[in-house]
Amino acid sequence: MLEMFYVGFSQILAVKPLILIFLGVGVGIVFGAIPGLTATMAVALFLPLTFGMHPVDGMALLIGLYIGGVSGGLISAILIKIPGTPSSIATTFDGYPMAEKGEAGKALGAGIFYSFLGGWFSFLVLFFIAPPLADVALRFGPPEYFSIAIFSLTLIASLSTGSTIKGLMSGIVGVLLSCVGTAPIDAFPRFTFGFYQLDGGFNLLPALVGLFAITEILKTAESDIEIKLDHIANYRIKGFGFSGKEFVQQLGNFIRSALIGTGIGILPGIGGGTSNILSYIAAKKMSKHPEKFGTGILDGVVASETANNASIGGALVPLLAMGIPGDTVTAMLLGGLMIHGLSPGPLLFTTSGNIVYGIFAALIVANFVMVLMEYFGIRFFVRLLKIPKHIMLPIIIVFCVVGAYGLNNRVFDAWSVMFFGVIGYAFEKWGFPLAPVILGFILGPLAETNLRRGLMMTQGNFLPFLTKPVSGAFLVIALASVVYSVIKERKQAKR
């Protein structure tokens, strides 16, 4: 393992990857800090640019965008009470009250520092869990992979905000969209409607860019958010922003929040948007002074920012070990690997170990770059909050469409971006979550291929899917998660 880390760092510490990491982290912080722009949008925008790069260089850029985007959300959450990203929602609860009390520098300093520590915690978990998990996954057959795909889809559907039924329907729509084109195994054409462009199905990249980037742009364009910083006079960070005594007092809060963030990150499709809120609730329940939460105390900022950054390493565990994205951004990273002909999963560690450990090294370097940029460049990032959205959003749309077109030089891909953007916007308006759609789109072929392979192995007998221990366990958990969520929603509706 140490030899592979040496190989990974030797690739990342070259001039080009370092420049790309600095660029990625800087742009990611900007996207995270400006309300309406997210880490997902940043990665979606730059994903097509990695097509002509070496895989390690491309992943270095995307990792930088990921880390910068998740952490950057704390800036607007603390200063203007608008979370730059969903992963910083809980940061507003105490970060903004601290800023109103004249402690903006303290809140920003603590948020940045614990973002750094939370990331480090999850990276250590990733480094020690992903390789052995990949070894275990190598022993899985078609029934196991089918059941894991179904489990992942039902889990995110049942944990989606709002209705479980809507979450399941979103997942089904994603699976149906993945069925367009030639079928696996027998190559039978489906849902092409005579368009030869659909013979290979929809490309993953236009789907990702449309569902997340275009949808967010349309939502932001119709919002009436106004950025006002006049009441925040002092956001300079002195030292780390907090004292050594306060650091010792926050140790328990940090460890608990890091465990929650990493654990939630590992669960497919959930990510930092949920982990920061759960961590905040846990910190409040475990606190000796829960009544102070929401009034501007350090505990709330530490809990939220530790958890949302800890989810990064956690989300990469299922992606690299089994090829299943842990959240929407890792779905983009999956696309980044597939652009270069790499298939995330257990074989990636044996066939392209240098790429995997290059990603590990990029995570470490990008985390250091993030903390340095945010500490020393906070005044610059704050000024960017004032850029008018009528200038920024059209530029981003152009980049999205041009990037998708440049992947295969097909106008059809550019139209696909707009098609998926309209679908995403409609789903948001009707209260359907988007994460199950993209997971269904990604996991649909995995589930179908392994279902058909498994049935071919068993001469059409579905029973082995239930009797094999791993496969059966995942299917039972999948069913239980849906039933539990539906029962819980009905009880809440009766109250």
pLDDT tens digit sequence for 168-201:
888 889 889 988 888 877 778 888 887 788 888 8
Q: Name the token pair of 302.
A: 């530490």
Q: Residues near 195 by Cβ (< 8 Å), separated by ≥ 6?
A: none
Torsion of the alpha carbons at 391, 49, 85 and 433, rounded to the nearest 10: 110
Distance CA 241, CA 230 (A): 21
pLDDT at 12: 92
pTM of the shown model: 0.76
Amino acid at 248: V
Segment among 76-80, 89-93, 201-205, 231-235 with least mean pLDDT: 231-235
pLDDT tens digit sequence for 445-473:
888 888 888 888 888 888 888 888 888 99
Cα angle 221-265-151, degrees, rounded to a multiple of 5: 100
pLDDT tens digit sequence for 415-432:
988 899 999 999 988 888
The answer on pLDDT for 477 being more than 70 is yes
> Domain count of the chain?
1
Distance CA 86, CA 446 (A): 28
Query: What's the whole-number mean pLDDT along residues 367-391?
Result: 80
Q: Which domain holds residue 465?
A: 2-494
pLDDT at 306: 92
The answer on pLDDT for 249 being more than 90 is no
**Which residue is listed with tokens 């995570």?**
363
